Amino acid sequence: MWSIWADPSREHEYDEGIEWARLDGPLTAGAKGQLKPRGAPKGAFTVLEVEPGRRILTSAGPPVAKMQFDRRLDALPGGNTRVSEQITISGPLAGLFGRLFGRSMAERLPTALTKLAEQATREPAPGPTANENPSP
């Protein structure tokens, strides 16, 4: 699942509210990218934190209504994984942005996360890299 979530260019595959997204470089703190929501102009985002295999924190929007997207994969007992995304809007126009965009994001988020999980179960797990040897 991480390989799908960590690749912004695939976000449109599971989130119907996104036309396209791209990251300008590797997924590391400080990386920049662009995102085009359906029915809205494209905008920039910044990766704030990355915990490989576990968490991505990004920020987007103008300073008057900064949106943070905190995506997490948490291991649960029995080999299960909790998939979550928390969206926070802050700044002087947070209330307005929440009314304009918050409801649509909140309404599509459960479907997007379900589609992400379904897609992850259909894709084979990544195999060993060229520098790794599988054990016999």
Domain coverage including residue 32 = 2-122
Structural domain total, the chain: 1
Sign of CA dihedral 60, 63, 65, 66: positive
Structural domain includes residue 65: yes
- 62-120 pLDDT per residue, tens: 889 999 999 999 999 998 889 999 999 999 999 998 888 888 888 888 899 889 988 88
pLDDT for the residue 132: 42
Structural domain includes residue 59: yes
CB neighbour list of residue 98: distance below 8 Å, 6 or more residues apart: 89
Structural domain includes residue 79: yes
pLDDT for the residue 125: 60
Domain CATH code at residue 18: 3.30.530.20
CB neighbour list of residue 132: distance below 8 Å, 6 or more residues apart: none
Structural domain includes residue 42: yes
Structural domain includes residue 131: no
Structural domain includes residue 128: no
